[in-house]
Every structure is written in C-alpha cells, then in structure tokens.
Amino acid sequence: MSNAAKKKTAVVLGAQWGDEGKGKIVDVLSERFSVVARYAGGHNAGHTVIIKGRKFVLQLIPCGVLRPDCRGVIGNGVVLDPMAFLSEVQRLKDAGLAIEGGPNGQLFVSNRAQVILPYHRMIELAAENAPGRTKIGTTSRGIGPAYEDKMHRSGLRVVDLLNSALLRTHIENACHEKNTIAHALFGTEPLDPKSMYEEYARAAEQIAPYVTDTSALLNNAIRDGEHVMFEGAQGTLLDIDHGTYPFVTSSSATAGGAVTGTGVGPTRIGTVIGVTKAYVTRVGEGPFPTEIQDSSADLLRARGQEYGAVTGRPRRCGWLDLPLLRYSNEINGTEWLVVTKMDVLDGLAEIPICTGYKLGGKAIDTIPADVRGLESLQPVYTKLKGWSEPTEGITEFSKLPQAAQDYLAFLEKESGAKVGMVSTGPDRDQTMLLPGFDAALSS
C-alpha cells in the first residue's frame, strides 16, 4: 500500500484510563473522514459530544454518525448488546439523525461481533458483589463475561443471532449452564430461556439490516481512497494486556486492537492519535500514581464535570503523569497527541506535572507490571507556572496565554509525541488544530 493511502487512516484512542474526551475529538476529526470504525469494548464506554449546546452521549455507535456524510462501523472486536444498540439507534433517530442500515445506510455492524445476553449481566453483577472478591469497578453490563465466552469459544456472534434455530438452541444450552453456575456460586435466581429467545429473536429482526462483513467494507473503503478512522474505547491503561491489570477492561484498547478488532491489516494504519486531558482522571478501582488527595481534586472535578458519561460515577482526579503518557505513546506508536480540557486549569497559580517516579527511594524509568509496584510509586513533580487569563473557547494557539503555551510545549517535549490539537471547551467549535497536524490530516 502506498504511503499516500496509509495517510488516510488513523487510530484515535485514549492515552490513560479513558474519559479523555475522545468522543468530541472523533466528532471534530470525522469531518475529514468518510468512515469511523469502533474496534473494542461495549456499551460500557460513554462518548460525549456537544454540538452547539446539544449533548449526545454515544455508547456503542461511533461518533462519526453525528455527521451526515460519515458512515459508522461497529467492528468485530466489539461486544454488542442488542437491546442497548437498538435503544441508542432510536435515541439518535428521535434527535433527528438519519441512522439507517442497509447497503446505502450510515451504520453497519460486523457479522463477527460477539453478542451480550442477559446471563452475561447476571454473572458479572453477582461476581462483582460476591463476598471476598476483589472489586474491579465494572459497569456490570456483561462486558467481561461476554469476552470470556468469546475466548472460551462458546459465545454467540451476530451472524448466529440472525439464525433463529441456532439462537434458540444456544440460549437453551447457555441458560442451563449459566443458571446452574450462578445459583451454585452466588444464589442467583435463574433466567427463563423461552422468554429470552423470544425477546432476542425480535431484536435480531431489527438489527439484521445493519449487519454486514465490516472487514470487507473497511478494506474496500481504504482501497478506494477513502479516509477511515478507527475509534478506540476506554483507554490504553485499561487494555487487557498493557493496562493496570487486573483493574482493566476485557478488550484490547490499544492501537493493536484496531487491527484485530476490525480485520484491517497493520500495514494499512497510517497514524495513531492519542487523546489526553491536561490532567488525568480515572473511574473505578485501581492504582493511580498522581491522584490528588486534597481539595484541588474537587476543584478539577467541578470545573471539568468529571462524572462518568455512562455511570455518573465521580471520576478520581490527578495531575498529568508524563511517565505513564510516555509508556502509552510507546506501546501505541502514538505520533500525535490531542490535549483536552485545557480550560479546566485556568486560574491555577502553579500546576504540578509528574516527570518521574521513585520506588523504594530509587529513581526508576520503567512502569511496574504489578499492582503492588504501581501502588508503591512515589511521583516526582515539576511545578509549572499557571495562567490567570481564561482559555475557554480559544481556537488559535498564538492566542493562548504564554504559560499555557509553555505547558503544552513541555508536555510535547517530555512525552515523545507531537501536540496536534487542543480542546478549550466541551463544544465541537471550541477546538484548535495546530498547523503541522492540520497539514498531516489534509495530505
């Protein structure tokens, strides 16, 4: 594949634990792309987009569909809850968007994606609340158990969902097994396979127009010279392999997941764009080296509206962690960074930024693989000068306060990736593209 064709494809993902504002960034960038493909996760991922004051929260459907000329693809790496999908489609239609399936439609679902069924939610909810179990902080929406069945080779794929005879047999067999396990381990009441089959058979009829071989669709689009974006869910540090295990999600949230989760080969990926806030947040349990333990966390949470888009849970807040960002950039091959929520730091006299770690009193330059190591890290901070002038809504880099420009320059120098875009507010229009990034996307 030519370099010119590769430049037309990009992966956009979260650099830390998700909630970096990817939804807005994918929406802004989708003006330059004709297809946006989601490659991992399920309806536990909330992407918020605000367009001229109107708020859209997307969970399964790629943010690109908010633009009429952009097609959305739910790839094979996603786990699909049929009811959540149909509900989200209906909400978008009620909002006036033409979200249709079929060959000439705007939204497509992989026939190879795995299906979430009620027993997945039953198992996850019971396990998360079982006495003596380590709480991961899941959304209890069946994501993990669905991926477990996928790897156990006992899951149901979308192509199978559309086969009524196979669907009936699968649900009967799965309910017999899952009901027995859940009752024995957690005392859970059994689910009824008959009513489950009837409900999901009806849902299958409604989903059928959206279903296609999305790998073929994406590869054909790339061959035809179309611009294709691969949309991540959650964030790098929640990746099942490279995240803060076991406090992670159940899928491949890193750039490698874009390949396995869509069926597009690695040589067809042009660039990787990592999204980071100007600070850091995390929802749920797990290590967080730079978590703020004083009132500054409340200030950032209030200014940044740091509450989960799906769960509403308050997010833990911390200062920007450059060692973790370098780690994220390394394993993703991140070329460009998008920095969001710059305006949340307005008015701070000084801004701590973590530039290194100590472990047992010794400086280290690697990220521990185990939770105990991560929890024992002592951040080493550099304090940068803050700025008093407001940055909200600024769309030109040169108009940012000098201290804000210096903050971004320091972040770029220390992270190993180029800052290409900055968000200075929640709305689509409160965004600036820096010249080098703008030129790279336009080539």
Catalytic positions, please? 19, 47
DSSP 47-76: EEEEETTEEEEESSS-GGGGSTT-EEEE-T
Length of the chain: 443
291: which residues sit within 8 A by CB, 6+ positions away? 282, 297, 316, 317, 318
First to last CA, the chain: 16
Cα–Cα nearest to 317, from 276, 355, 283, 285: 283
Q: Closest by alpha carbon to 419, among 430, 429, 432, 428? A: 432
Neighbouring CB atoms inside 10 A of 263's CB total 20
Backbone angles phi, psi at 173, to 5 degrees: -70, -45
Instruction: Quote the CA–CA distance of 60 and 57 in Å, as a whole number.
Output: 10
Burial class (CB within 10 angstroms; exposed 0-12, middle 13-18, buried 19+) of 291: middle
Three-class DSSP category at 179 = helix
Dihedral (Cα; 73, 232, 432, 355), 10-degree rounding:
-170
Q: Residue holding tokens 């309910």? A: 175
DSSP class per residue in 68-108: TT-EEEE-TTBEE-HHHHHHHHHHHHHTT-----STT-SEE
Which amino acid appears at position 240 of this protein?
Answer: I
Q: How many CA atoms lie within 13 A of 423 on its CB side?
A: 28
Tokens of 95: 């909002």
SS3 427: strand
Pull the structure tokens for residue 213. 């071989």
Q: Which residues pair with 421 in a beta bridge?
A: 338, 433
132 contact partners, CB below 8 Å, separation of at least 6: none
Would you report the helix, strand and coil content of the chain in percent, each value rounded to 5?
A: 40, 20, 40
